[in-house]
Structure 1
Amino acid sequence: MSKSVCAIAVAALAAACPSHAENPIIQTNFTADPAPMVYNGTVYLYTSHDEDDAYGFKMKEWRLYTSTDMVNWTDHGAVASLKTFPWARQDNDAWAPQVVPRNGKFYLYAPVSVPGEPKNVIAVAVADKPEGPFKDALGHPLVGPVTGYIDPTAFVDDDGQAYLYWGNPNLWYVKLNQDMVSYSGPIVQEPTKPANYQEGPWFYKRGGKYYLAYASTCCSEGIGYVMSDHPTGPWVHHGDIMDGNKASSGNHPGIIDYKGGSYVFGFNYRFNFDDTPVHRERRSITVAKFNYNADGTIPNLPWWNTEGVAQIESLDPYRRVEAETIAWTSRVPSPWDHPIDWVPGIKTAKNGDSVYVTRITNKTYIKVAGVDFGKGAERFTARVASGAGGTIELHLDSFSGPVIGTLAVGSTGGWGAWQSLSAPVKGAAGKHDLFFVFKGDGSDPLFDFDYWQFAKAGK
């Protein structure tokens, strides 16, 4: 596997590329089917979730991650699951979702299965805020059951008309009503199916043109796209955004414009193949930045690189920052480790609306990119819970970079007994990547980590 300089887990090289993402962008869970939504200045990235023990598709929930800088992603945990649709099969098939806002509500469209029914259906759930919780809107499928009714993508046009596209290997659409949970007119199978279309459509409008990106001919799947002057075609194929790659049997695009840049999301199997040469459905979401051509077409992009995209704004350490805000997490390598960039370790957990970092063990670490300390910080505070304890070492620019402080974490009275602890820091000024390096005895979990904050010098 080729590795960019920024992705190599060597301190001297990691410091050479600060404030940059690494692909895949989520390391604490296996994620796929990215559905980014820009809302009120934030990217809301909805995903499907491959279970840690998956071999084939094993998917039970939909997760959410947010970012304002395209590099540090905050985990909000599961915002919907198969339990959201109690009439659906409960042990599997929580496949590719999309969420769209309208009239102060947020609508989640997702394919699920019905017990005893081999064909597919699409369900819809609704929430009052993008973080959910989402609730079943109908108590039954919106469309289906029909074989291949998967991968819904929704869009509300400028004139208020909403559309829902979906399908594998055929492409269907229907016009949604203003309530977003019913439709008018017939379900139409697209008569001019896009060239090399397979599944995973992503429908949007830009510059007066309609775009439909999709996972292209299986297998391997790249990303193809077509354009039209009308929301229901006819569609004109303009090439591929990304060619297929033998390292990834699948793909699934999500495309947004955000803070002056254009981004395409997809997924690969990098973390699976870091662990084993055996293909398993344990996927990881990736992102690349691109520029549209003058005529609105999209250039052909190289396969997902490990370096990812550049950070577009700094992170403020003087406000509360959730510990699950992560640019990268792995474990500090030992001389006998296999020479890979990522090893499974830190996870996240959710209790009610609260998400926190868990399964912290000795020498695991979290990187937070592009932290702007300004003229300097003098104190660090973290909210933790522990029955064992350990330390949090604060490093600049790499996991072995300069230490600006160390927070000792003793027993807080047990897991779930949260306490705020603080320690002095020195040498934290200017903009740096910040690394939390966790240390303690043995191989058991040390503590859980909820959030953190620095205090400015002189305050």
Structure 2
Amino acid sequence: MEENNPIIRHVFTADPTVLEHRGIVYLYTGHDDPLPGSEQYTMNDWLCFSSVNLVDWNTHPSPLAANDYSWASGDAFASKIICHNQKFYFFTAVSHKRIPGKAIGVATSESPLGPFRDPRGEALVTGDMLPVAADEKSNLDPSVIIDDDGSAYLFWGNGRCFYARLSANLLEIDSEISELHLPHFNEGTHIYKRDGHYYLMYGYGAPERVAYAMSDNLHGAWKFVGIVNELAGNCETNRPATLDFKGKSYFFYHNGALPNGGSHRRSVCVDYMYYNGDGTIKKIVMSSEGISPQK
């Protein structure tokens, strides 16, 4: 049996976000890089890979580091990549130098390979902007969706799920920040739309399984559907991404399956994803063999 999972084996990767552009799939990941023997999250930059078949991946230079933000003190947490009006927007979570806790930034590029630059010169979301008292990790795991009318929304959070509308240029918060209540929400938001249904995946409980809710309207009501992915190996966290590519659907996630892997040395994987006739998602079957090359 050929083992294609994890899909990146020469470096530890986590928190995937993925897009297809002109027939090429671009995968962006966090980069676990702890000192030998350390059991602390050490993430300084994001990594970029590309593929035309989802099995053979090319490695590209890091498109962005946490310290590329002048206002950030480090910590390259989960991210979200989107393409809008032929520009690439990279939403990321980092630690802020002056405002306590994590913050969300946005960097842009004319190319999916970067380099990405900070057009704002300041954070997009900070702890003092939230409608409730923030804790140190409140602003984690951004996810963005462009709705059918062209309006953009940001979803994120840790312990609480927040969302807000973005401005037309995607560089400002353009509404009040609201809270979405979901069962056992921990972190790891991933929002997308498919065949008229909105899906919101997230890390459920701790250690994290992946659950999801569905809605026919981005503003709700959201219906909790259930667990779609069970615990991923020897890893306490998860953060999903999804992709429809060449007629099939794919589920990206991370586990701790590489030698010496674990919660602080994670590795991105991909498996097939299937939908029922009513739009609900069939339980993800995690596998070591992964997927076959897509032609």
TM-score by length of 1: 0.60
1:188 aligns with 2:170: no
Instruction: Tell me if 1:281 matches 2:264.
Output: yes
Say if 2:94 and 2:102, in contact at 8 Å, map to a contact too.
yes
Q: State which of 2, 5, 12 in structure 2 corresponds to 1:6.
A: 2
Distance in 2 (CA, whole Å) between partners of 1:196 and 1:69 is 35
Pick from 200, 205, 209 the counterpart of residue 197 of structure 2: 209
Please state whether the residue corresponding to 1:287 is helix, strand or coil. strand
Structure 2 stretches of 5 or more lacking a match? 128-133
Instruction: Kindly state the Cα deviation for residue 253 of structure 1 after the two structures are TM-superposed.
Output: 0.4
* 1:261 and 2:245 are equivalent in the alignment: no
Q: Distance in 2 between matches of 1:83 and 1:249?
A: 26
Aligned ranges 1:373-388 → 2 under 5 Å: none
Contact 2:143–2:156 under 8 Å retained in 1: yes
Question: What's 1:223 paired with?
Answer: 210
CA contact (8 A) 1:30 1:51 kept: yes
**TM-score, normalised relative to structure 2:** 0.93
Contact conserved, 2:34 with 2:264, CA < 8 A, in 1?
no
Q: Does 1:233 align with 2:220?
A: yes
2:61 and 2:12 mapped to 1: Cα distance?
12
Match of 2:91 in 1: 109
Paired with 1:290 and 1:23, the residues of 2 have a C-alpha distance of 15
Match of 1:163, as an amino acid?
Y
Counterpart of 2:29 in structure 1 is 47
Structure 1 residue 241 displacement after superposition: 1.1
> 1:83: which partner in 2?
67
Aligned residues of 2:107 and 2:118 also touching (Cα < 8 A): yes
Q: CA deviation at 1:254?
A: 0.3
Aligned to 2:50: 66
- Asked if the contact 1:153/1:201 (under 8 Å) is kept, the reply is yes
The answer to whether the 8 Å contact 1:29/1:52 transfers is no
1:199/1:175 CA distance change after superposition, 3 Å = same
Identify the structure with bigger relative contact order (alpha carbons < 8 Å, sequence gap 6+): 2
Given that 1:287 and 1:309 are in contact with CA atoms closer than 8 Å, whether structure 2 keeps it comes out as: yes
Distance 1:139 1:301 in 2: 40
Q: 1:207 to 1:151 in 2, by over 3 A?
A: same
Specify every segment of 5 or more residues in structure 1 that has no aligned partner in the other structure, as ranges.
8-21, 314-459
The residue that corresponds to 2:122 in the other structure is 140
Q: Distance in 2 between matches of 1:249 and 1:66?
A: 27
Which amino acid is the alignment partner of residue 117 of structure 2? K
Partner of 1:15: none
Q: What is the CA–CA distance in structure 2 between the aligned matches of 1:235 and 1:61, rounded to whole Å?
A: 34
Name 2:147's counterpart in structure 1: 157
Residue pair 1:202, 1:254 contacting (<8 A) in 2 also: yes
Equivalence for 1:99: 81
1:300 Cα deviation after fit: 1.2
Provide the rounded CA distance (Å) in 2 between the counterparts of 1:214 and 1:110.
16
How many residue pairs are counted as aligned between the two chains?
A: 285
Larger Rg: 1
Amino acid at match of 1:179: N
Q: Tell me the distance in 2 between the aligned counterparts of 1:275 and 1:108.
A: 30
Deviations 1:237-275 (A, max 9, x none): 11111122562211110011111010010000011xx33
Using the TM superposition, give the Cα deviation of residue 52 of structure 1 relative to its aligned residue in structure 2, in angstroms.
5.1
- Which of 36, 41, 50 is the equivalent residue of 1:57? 41
Whether 1:172 and 2:162 are equivalent positions in the alignment is yes
| Aligned ranges 1:304-343 → 2 under 5 Å | 304-313=286-295
Q: Is the 8 A contact 2:89 2:107 kept in 1?
A: yes
Q: Deviations over 1:395-445 (max 9, x none)?
A: xxxxxxxxxxxxxxxxxxxxxxxxxxxxxxxxxxxxxxxxxxxxxxxxxxx
Aligned-residue offset at 1:104:
1.6
User: Is the CA contact (8 Å cut-off) linking 2:18 and 2:25 kept in structure 1?
Assistant: yes
Q: Is the 8 A contact 1:125 1:136 kept in 2?
A: yes
Distance 2:9 2:34 in 1: 12
> Hey, what's the Cα distance between the residues in 1 that align with 2:260 and 2:243?
31
- Matched position secondary structure for 1:296: coil
